[in-house]
C-alpha cells in the first residue's frame, strides 16, 4: 500500500508540476499548441470520453450512440456552415490522420504526389519520411522560390504537367505566407489530379476569415488540426468541396485509420467553433498583429528575423535565424531554461540532415494571444529573449522576469461562458 501511495504521489506531483510550469510560469511560443477555454474543457471532461462510436453517425457498429450521433452531425454542420461546405468529416483524431485518409484514397502505392517544398514548410506527413512514405506514395517536391519564400508557381505548374501526379499538397507546418492555391489547383486539375490543402496551422485564421479559404480557390480537400490557431481540443478534421470524395474518404477513416475517434473531442470542438464564430475575427486579427509586432520587435532587438522584405509574416508564425547565437538546438534549450518555450526549426537553406541542430527557431503567438497578450507584450517578449540570447544575461534572472510577467496573463480571452475565466479554477 505504501508503494501505491508513493507512486500516486509521484504521478500527481508531476501533473501538478506541469500545470504550474506551463500554465502559470512560462511564455509558450510553440506554434502548434493552444489552450481550450474552461467551458470547452468542461465539455471535454464528460461521459463521452469513456464511449465508443465506430462507424458513421446513425450507422454505428455499437449501441448507445444516439446522442453523440446527433452532436457529431450538428458540429459538422456548424463548422461546414462557416467553411461553406456540406461535407465535413470530424472523426480523424489528428491532422496527420486526416492527411493519411485523404492520401490513401487519392493514390495507390507507387503513384506520385507533388508537395510543397520542405523550404516552404511541408509537414513531415507530406513526405517520404512520414505518412506519404508509409503509404508507398512517391513524393516529388515542387521547386522553391527563395525570394518569395514560397512555391515557385511557374516551375510547379511545369512539373505537374510533366509528372501528372495523382494529387498535390499545399499548406504546411512552417508557414509564413499563403501558398498559391488557385494556380496549383488549376494545374493539378488539368492533369486529372486533386489538390489537398493542409491547413493544420492556419485553420483558425481560415475559419475566422483572416486567411483565404482554400476550398473557395480550388482545393478539393482541406485537412486541419483543431488545436493550433483554432483553439480547441487536440484532433483533426477534413472538409471537402464535393460529395464523392467526401464519401470515399469517410469509408477509409474507419476501419483503416482508427476505431473509436475520441468522442469527448466533439462537444469541446463545437463549443470552440461557437467561440470562433463569436470572437474569431477579433482573435485571429490580433494573432496576426502580434506575430508582425513580435517579428519587428525581435529585429529591433538585434535578431535576424526571416522575411523582412515580405513584411516578416502573414500568419501566427515568426522564423528567426540563430546561427550566430549558437544554432537552433542551443538557443531553444537556453530559452526553455528561462521558461520561454519555442522549437528549433529548419530554415530554407538547411539540409534535411540538420534537423537535430538547425539554423532557426519557429515561434507562434496564438497561445499568448489567447491569454490576452497584445502588441506591447510582444515587445516585452522580444526584450526578454534578447536579454538572454544577445546580451547574455543569466538564465536565472530572465526566468524570474518571465514568471513575474506571466502572472499578469492567467485568464483565457475570446471565450464563451460570460466573463473572461481561468482554466486554473478547474
> What would the pLDDT profile of 100-140 be if each residue is shown by its tens digit?
999 999 999 999 999 998 877 888 888 888 899 999 999 99
**Total number of domains in the chain:** 2
Domain end point (choices 220, 243, 272): 272
Within a domain: 350: yes
Burial class (CB in 10 A: 0-12, 13-18, 19+), 322: buried
Helix axes 375-389, 265-300, angle to 10 degrees: 60
How many whole angstroms separate alpha carbon 170 and alpha carbon 186?
13
Within a domain: 394: yes
Cβ of 339: how many Cβ atoms within 10 Å? 22
User: Given a cut of 60, is residue 418 above it in pLDDT?
Assistant: no
Residues 356 and 251 both lie in one domain = no
Q: Where residue 333 falls among pLDDT bands split at 50, 70, 90?
A: very high
Could you give the angle at the alpha carbon of 52 between the alpha carbons of 46 and 58, nearest 5°?
Answer: 105
User: Given a cut of 90, is residue 421 above it in pLDDT?
Assistant: no
- Grid cell 491569454 is found at 371
Q: Summarize the confidence of residues 200-216 as an average pLDDT.
A: 97
Residues 268 and 412 both lie in one domain = no
How many whole angstroms separate alpha carbon 142 and alpha carbon 50?
44
Strands 27-28 and 167-171, how do they pair?
A: unpaired
Residues 343 and 418 both lie in one domain = yes
Residues 202 and 335 both lie in one domain = no
Q: Summarize the confidence of residues 290-303 as an average pLDDT.
A: 98
Within a domain: 9: no
Residues 57 and 195 both lie in one domain = yes
Within a domain: 335: yes
> What would the pLDDT profile of 381-392 be if each residue is shown by its tens digit?
999 999 999 999
8 A C-beta contact, residue 321 and residue 347:
yes
Q: For position 351, what pLDDT does the model report?
A: 85
Residues 76 and 184 both lie in one domain = yes
What DSSP state is assigned to residue 177? Answer: S
Give the count of alpha carbons within 13 A of 210, CB side only: 24
* CATH number where 371 lies: 3.90.1150.10
Within a domain: 4: no
Q: For position 124, what pLDDT does the model report?
A: 83
* CATH number where 244 lies: 3.40.640.10
Domain that holds residue 238: 42-272
> What would the pLDDT profile of 341-368 be if each residue is shown by its tens digit?
999 999 988 887 888 999 999 999 999 9
Task: Round the average pLDDT of the chain to a whole number and report it.
Answer: 95
Cβ of 78: how many Cβ atoms within 10 Å? 15
**Non-local CB neighbours of 80 within 8 Å, separated by 6+ positions:** 86, 87, 88, 239
Residues 140 and 165 both lie in one domain = yes
What DSSP state is assigned to residue 352? Answer: G
Within a domain: 418: yes
Within a domain: 363: yes
Q: For position 426, what pLDDT does the model report?
A: 47
What DSSP state is assigned to residue 138? Answer: E
Backbone angles phi, psi at 119, to 5 degrees: -65, -25
Residues 381 and 268 both lie in one domain = no
Residues 197 and 242 both lie in one domain = yes
Residues 388 and 416 both lie in one domain = yes
Kindly state the cell numbers that stand for 20: 504550474
Residues 267 and 409 both lie in one domain = no
Q: Summarize the confidence of residues 258-283 as an average pLDDT.
A: 97
**Non-local CB neighbours of 77 within 8 Å, separated by 6+ positions:** 88
Domain end point (choices 249, 272, 295): 272
User: Given a cut of 90, is residue 2 above it in pLDDT?
Assistant: no
Domain end point (choices 272, 305, 333): 272
**Non-local CB neighbours of 187 within 8 Å, separated by 6+ positions:** 156, 157, 160, 161, 168
* Coil/strand/helix, residue 289: helix
Within a domain: 220: yes
Torsion sign over Cα 356, 357, 359, 364: positive
Residues 235 and 307 both lie in one domain = no
Amino acid at each position: 500500500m505504501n508503494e501505491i501511495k508513493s507512486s500516486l504521489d509521484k504521478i500527481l506531483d508531476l501533473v501538478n508540476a506541469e500545470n504550474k510550469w506551463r500554465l502559470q510560469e512560462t511564455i509558450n511560443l510553440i506554434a502548434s499548441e493552444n489552450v481550450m477555454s474552461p467551458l470547452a474543457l468542461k465539455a471535454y471532461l464528460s461521459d463521452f470520453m469513456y464511449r465508443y462510436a465506430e462507424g458513421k453517425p446513425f450507422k454505428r457498429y455499437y449501441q448507445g450512440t444516439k446522442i453523440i450521433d446527433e452532436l457529431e452531425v450538428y458540429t459538422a454542420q456548424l463548422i461546414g456552415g462557416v467553411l461553406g461546405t456540406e461535407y465535413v468529416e470530424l472523426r480523424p483524431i489528428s491532422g496527420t490522420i486526416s492527411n493519411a485518409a485523404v492520401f490513401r484514397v487519392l493514390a495507390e502505392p507507387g503513384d506520385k504526389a507533388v508537395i510543397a517544398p520542405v523550404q516552404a514548410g511541408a509537414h513531415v506527413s507530406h513526405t517520404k519520411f512520414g505518412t506519404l512514405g508509409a503509404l508507398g506514395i512517391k513524393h516529388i517536391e515542387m521547386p522553391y522560390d527563395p525570394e518569395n519564400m514560397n512555391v515557385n508557381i511557374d516551375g510547379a505548374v511545369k512539373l505537374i504537367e510533366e509528372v501528372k501526379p495523382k494529387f498535390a499538397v499545399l499548406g504546411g507546418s512552417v508557414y509564413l505566407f499563403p501558398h498559391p492555391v488557385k494556380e496549383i489547383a488549376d494545374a493539378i486539375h488539368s492533369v486529372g489530379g486533386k489538390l489537398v490543402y493542409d491547413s493544420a496551422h492556419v485553420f483558425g485564421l481560415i475559419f475566422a476569415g483572416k486567411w483565404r479559404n482554400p476550398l473557395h480557390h480550388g482545393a478539393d480537400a482541406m485537412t486541419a488540426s483543431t488545436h493550433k490557431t483554432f483553439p480547441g481540443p487536440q484532433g483533426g478534421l477534413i472538409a471537402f468541396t464535393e460529395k464523392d470524395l467526401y464519401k470515399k474518404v469517410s469509408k477509409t477513416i474507419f476501419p483503416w485509420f482508427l476505431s473509436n475517434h475520441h468522442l469527448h473531442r466533439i462537444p469541446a470542438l463545437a463549443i470552440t467553433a461557437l467561440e470562433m464564430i463569436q470572437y474569431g475575427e477579433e482573435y485571429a486579427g490580433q494573432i496576426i498583429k502580434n506575430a508582425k509586432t513580435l517579428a519587428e520587435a525581435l529585429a529591433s532587438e538585434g535578431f535576424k528575423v526571416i522575411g523582412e522584405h515580405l513584411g516578416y509574416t502573414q500568419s501566427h508564425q515568426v522564423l528567426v535565424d540563430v546561427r550566430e547565437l549558437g544554432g537552433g538546438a542551443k538557443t531553444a534549450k537556453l530559452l526553455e531554461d528561462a521558461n520561454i518555450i519555442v522549437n528549433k526549426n529548419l530554415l530554407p537553406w538547411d539540409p534535411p540532415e540538420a534537423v537535430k541542430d538547425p539554423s532557426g527557431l519557429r515561434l507562434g503567438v496564438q497561445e499568448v494571444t489567447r491569454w490576452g497578450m497584445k502588441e506591447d507584450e510582444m515587445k516585452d517578449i522580444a526584450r526578454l529573449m534578447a536579454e538572454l540570447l544577445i546580451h547574455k544575461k543569466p538564465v536565472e534572472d530572465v526566468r524570474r522576469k518571465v514568471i513575474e510577467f506571466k502572472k499578469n496573463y492567467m485568464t483565457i480571452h475570446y471565450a464563451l461562458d460570460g466573463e473572461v475565466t481561468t482554466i486554473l479554477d478547474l
